[in-house]
Amino acid sequence: MSHESSSSVPGSTRPVSVIGLGQMGSALARAFLTAGRTTTVWNRTTGKAAALVEQGALRADSVAEAVVASDVVVVCVLDYATVRELLDPVVASLTGRTLVNLTSGSPEQARESAEWAGEHGFAYLDGAIMTTPPGIGDPASMILCSGSPAVFAEHRETLAVLGDPLGLGEDAGLAALYDTGLLGLMWSVFAGWLHATALVGADGVPAKAFAPTAIRWLTAVGGFMDTYAPQIDTGHYPGDDATVDVQLAAVHHLLEASRARGIDTRLPELHRDLMAKTVASGHGRDSYGRVIEQFRPSRA
């Protein structure tokens, strides 16, 4: 296969190689094909490439062939160990190219991978895909990226094929760190919504009827987060809205309503305990942002 340098190929037409064709990797490759990119694909199980080849992808017979086919190599496999297993034997071929690693992992693994890339002379971006495979290609879907801002800027147009790329800065571990934090936020929101839906459902309210009001409420909650974020950064919690002690009193109503309907109370009990500890530490008149101290390491 012929190979052109990144400096001679515009970002909008730059060829891309995709290594790993699970559900997500296949969605990435399809998005590049839909955007008219020359897309080379490789997967350990070769049959997974068949549908993409029918759509115009070029099938590489080896990882090495996939790497040399493009200046931009996107890898999306099971874990970081698999990334190294596949690419260590051909690492010399990555020199001068850019590896975009969209494999899920820890911040520590991402930083180690960036060091590995630096040792072998290729550019590295670590990424986190904040959507499921059907969301790939939707401009509303966030693609978190961390690593060299200059490398991110060079390849932003390519990454924009997949969604909305958000550059988080030089630290290669930030995309994975944001990813894990945001997933925790998602599960917490889901759990709260499911608990609330079970609660109102006990009185005959359908989930479909309750959901629009819950979604509207989440918009207001986002506003509270904007208010509390600078308070957390400064360590000053003025409490000029609903204070922790007021919210502690309110959570007891949630507990009473849950118990009366036989709804599991573990989630509101967690909220109660976090707030009660904050009040007990002398900060009941502070804003709810103060509760973050219950999650931080003990300073004892």
> What are 157-168's pLDDT values in tens digits?
999 999 999 999
Place of tokens 């509390």: 228
Sequence-distant (6+) residues with CB within 8 A of 13 are 36, 37, 38
pLDDT for the residue 1: 38
Is 202-294 a domain of CATH 1.10.1040.10? Answer: yes
pLDDT at 10: 56
13 pLDDT exceeds 90?
no
Residue 9's pLDDT band (cuts 50, 70, 90) = low
Three-state DSSP at 70 gives: coil
| 4: confidence class by pLDDT, cuts 50, 70, 90 | very low
At 2, the pLDDT band (50, 70, 90 cuts) reads very low
CA atoms within a 13 Å half-sphere pointing along the CA-CB vector of 54: 5
Average pLDDT, the chain: 95
Count the Cβ atoms, other than its own, within 10 Å of residue 143: 24
**What is the Cα–Cα distance from 112 to 122, expressed in whole angstroms?**
14
What is the pTM (predicted TM-score) of this model? 0.93
Cα(234)–Cα(150) distance, integer angstroms:
31
pLDDT digits (tens, 9 = 90+) for 63-106: 999 999 999 999 999 999 999 999 999 999 999 999 999 999 99
Which pLDDT belongs to residue 55? 97
Quick one: pLDDT band at residue 5, thresholds 50, 70, 90?
very low
Mean pLDDT, residues 22-33: 98
**CATH architecture assigned to 6-172:** 3-Layer(aba) Sandwich (3.40)
CA 114 centroid distance within chain: 18
The count of other CB atoms within 10 Å of the CB of residue 207 is 14
> 107-120 vs 174-201: helix axis angle to the nearest 10?
160
* Residue ranges per structural domain of the chain: 6-172, 202-294
H/E element, 164: strand 164-167
Which residue's structure tokens are 């699970």?
22
Report the C-alpha gap between 298 and 190 in whole angstroms. Answer: 28
Q: For 200-239, what is each residue's pLDDT tens digit?
A: 999 999 999 999 999 999 999 999 999 999 999 999 999 9
Q: Which residue has better confidence, 7 or 147?
A: 147
pLDDT at 12: 72
In 3D space, the residue among 90, 177, 108 whose CA is nearest the CA of residue 99 turns out to be 90
Question: What Rg do the C-alpha atoms of the chain give, in angstroms?
Answer: 24
What is the per-residue pLDDT for 11?
62
